Amino acid sequence: MAEKYDVAIIGAGHNGLIAAYYLAKAGKKVVVFEKKENVGGRCVTEEITEGFRSSVCLDDISLFSKKVFQDLGLKNKGISAATDPLAISLLPGKALIQWRSPQKFAQEIATFSEKDAKEYPKYHEFMDKVAKNLGIACAKTPPDILNLPHSDLVDLGKYWLKLRKMGKRDMLEFLRAASMSARDFLDEWFESDALKGLLAAKALMGNALGPYSPGTAATLFLQHILSYHSASLGHPQGGMGKLSEALEQAGQTYKVEVRKENEVQEILIEEGVVKGVLLQDGTEIHSQVVASSLDPKTTFLKLCSPPKVSLKLRNLVKNVKSQGVSTKINLALKELPHIALVQGAEKEALLSARYFIAPSLEYLEKAFDATKYGRYSENPVIQFILPSFIDPSLAPKNKHVLSITAQCTPFRLREGSWAEHQDKFADIVLEKLGVFLPNLKDIIEHRQVLSPSDLEANFSLNEGHIYHLDHTMDQLFLMRPIPGSAQYRTPLDNLYLCGAGTHPAGMVNGLAGHNAAQKILKDWKG
Partner 1 sequence: MGIGTALHNKTRELCQSLRWKEWAGYFAVESYGVCHLPEYYAIREQAGIMDISPLYKYEIKGKDASLFMNYVLAKDVTKIKPKQVSYCVWCDEEGKVIDDGTVFCFSSEHYRVTAANPALRWFQENSPGFEVEIEDVSEEIAAISLQGPKSRDILKRITSAPLDELKYFWFTEDKLAQVDVLISRTGYTGDLGYEIWMKVEEAEKCWDKIMEAGKDYGLRPVGLMALDMARVEAGFILIDVDFYSSKHTMTESQKSFPQEISLGWTVSLKKPHFVGKKAIQEQKRQGFKYQLVGIEIDWDDLERAYEEVGLPPSLPHSAWRCMVPIHHKNRQVGYASSGCWSPNLKKYIALATLEAPYAKIGTDLTMEETIEFSRKKIKAKVVKKPFFNPARKTS
Judged by beta carbon, residue 138 or residue 316, the one nearer partner 1 is 316
Judged by beta carbon, residue 136 or residue 301, the one nearer partner 1 is 301
CB of 3 to partner 1, least distance (A): 26
Judged by beta carbon, residue 312 or residue 441, the one nearer partner 1 is 312
SS3 442: helix
CB of 373 to partner 1, least distance (A): 23
CB of 483 to partner 1, least distance (A): 17
Binding of partner 1 by 315 (CB under 8 A) = yes
b/e per residue 268-305 (b: at least 16 CB within 10 A): bbeeeebbbbbbeeeeebebbbbbbbbbbbbbbbebbe
CB of 304 to partner 1, least distance (A): 7
Judged by beta carbon, residue 317 or residue 520, the one nearer partner 1 is 317
Of residues 72, 304, 381, 394, which one binds partner 1 by CB under 8 A? 304
Judged by beta carbon, residue 307 or residue 344, the one nearer partner 1 is 307
Amino acid residing at 507: M
Closest CA to 304 of 274, 261, 263: 274
358, 381 contact by CB (below 8 A): yes
Question: Per CB under 8 A, which of residues 486..515 are in contact with partner 1?
Answer: none
Judged by beta carbon, residue 301 or residue 413, the one nearer partner 1 is 301
CB of 292 to partner 1, least distance (A): 14
SS3 34: coil
| Cα–Cα dist 70/21, whole Å | 13
Cα 184–Cα 186–Cα 187 angle in degrees, nearest 5: 65
Judged by beta carbon, residue 246 or residue 264, the one nearer partner 1 is 264
| Candidate segments 73-81, 315-323, 390-398, 409-417, binder of partner 1 by CB under 8 A | 315-323
Question: In this structure, how many other beta carbons lie within 10 angstroms of the beta carbon of residue 234?
Answer: 22
Binding of partner 1 by 314 (CB under 8 A) = yes
CB of 503 to partner 1, least distance (A): 23
Binding of partner 1 by 318 (CB under 8 A) = yes
Cα-Cα end-to-end distance for the chain: 28
Judged by beta carbon, residue 302 or residue 334, the one nearer partner 1 is 302
9, 24 contact by CB (below 8 A): no
| Candidate segments 189-197, 308-316, 370-378, 494-502, binder of partner 1 by CB under 8 A | 308-316
Binding of partner 1 by 309 (CB under 8 A) = yes
CB of 307 to partner 1, least distance (A): 5
Judged by beta carbon, residue 297 or residue 519, the one nearer partner 1 is 297
Binding of partner 1 by 321 (CB under 8 A) = no
State the helix-helix crossing angle for 114-134 and 182-189, rounded to 10 degrees.
120
| Contact flags string 273-302 toward partner 1, x per CB under 8 A | ---------------------------xxx
Contacts with 263 (C-beta within 8 Å, 6 or more apart), sequence order:
33, 35, 279, 280
284-292 vs 327-333, strand pairing mode: unpaired
CB of 318 to partner 1, least distance (A): 4
Binding of partner 1 by 317 (CB under 8 A) = yes
Of residues 29, 66, 115, 308, which one binds partner 1 by CB under 8 A? 308
Amino acid residing at 344: G
Closest CA to 181 of 370, 408, 365, 367: 365
CB of 298 to partner 1, least distance (A): 11
Q: Give the helix ranges, DSSP H, for 264-328.
A: 296-297, 311-318
Judged by beta carbon, residue 226 or residue 269, the one nearer partner 1 is 269
Judged by beta carbon, residue 260 or residue 302, the one nearer partner 1 is 302
How many whole angstroms from its chain centre is CA 87? Answer: 17
CB of 470 to partner 1, least distance (A): 18
| Cα–Cα dist 517/115, whole Å | 46
| Cα–Cα dist 55/401, whole Å | 10
DSSP states of 449-482: EE-HHHHHHHH--GGG-TTSS---GGGSGGGSSS
CB of 303 to partner 1, least distance (A): 10
Residues that bind partner 1 (CB under 8 A): 300-302, 304-309, 311, 314-315, 317-318
